[in-house]
Amino acid sequence: MRFLGLDVGDRTIGIAASDGLLLTAQGVETIRRKSLEQDLTRLGELMRQYETEQLIVGLPKNMDGTQGPRCDIVRAFAGEVQRAFPSVEITFWDERLSTVAAAKSLIAADVSRAKRKKVIDKMAAVFILQGYLDSRG
């Protein structure tokens, strides 16, 4: 079994997967959002491919730790995932600064601005999932 990490946005969903030992996270893809049905279909395909029943979903808290409207949107999406896949376990993970960390990592790797834009959400999902995996000890 593996975990999938999700960075849920309005236009995209960044996806990362853990390795089989649950030690490291790797970027998988960025789902370009079209409709809830298509988003859930692709997520289900990835869950089957990576044999996962646990999702680590980034929760975009405010810098002061409070939860604003973005958290409500992410929780609503997670609720739809739960309805579509009742057996999946969903864990929310504080994703503050995950996109910033992903951007810094890509800049440090000298990835062009155009390419960064294509992979930033996938990389943010890696940071979310890796943070969760590291917290497990």
- Reported as half-sphere exposure (CB side, CA atoms, 13 A), residue 112 has a value of 2
In whole angstroms, what is the distance from residue 36 CA to residue 128 CA? 22
Residue 122 CB-density burial (10 A; 0-12 exposed, 13-18 middle, 19+ buried) = buried
Quote the pLDDT of residue 127. Answer: 87
Quote the pLDDT of residue 46. Answer: 98
Work out the percent of the chain whose per-residue pLDDT is above 70. Answer: 82
pLDDT at 99 over 90: no
The residue-averaged pLDDT of 33-59 equals 96
Work out the percent of the chain whose per-residue pLDDT is above 90. Answer: 64
Which of residues 98 and 13 earns the better pLDDT score? 13
Quote the pLDDT of residue 26. Answer: 95
In terms of residue numbers, what domain contains 9? 2-135
Task: Name 89's bridge partners.
Answer: 54
Quote the pLDDT of residue 17. Answer: 98
- pLDDT tens string 79-91: 999 999 999 999 9
Number of compact structural domains in the chain: 1
pLDDT at 52 over 60: yes
CATH of the domain at 95: 3.30.420.140
- pLDDT tens string 15-40: 999 999 999 999 999 999 999 999 99
Look up the pTM and report it.
Answer: 0.85
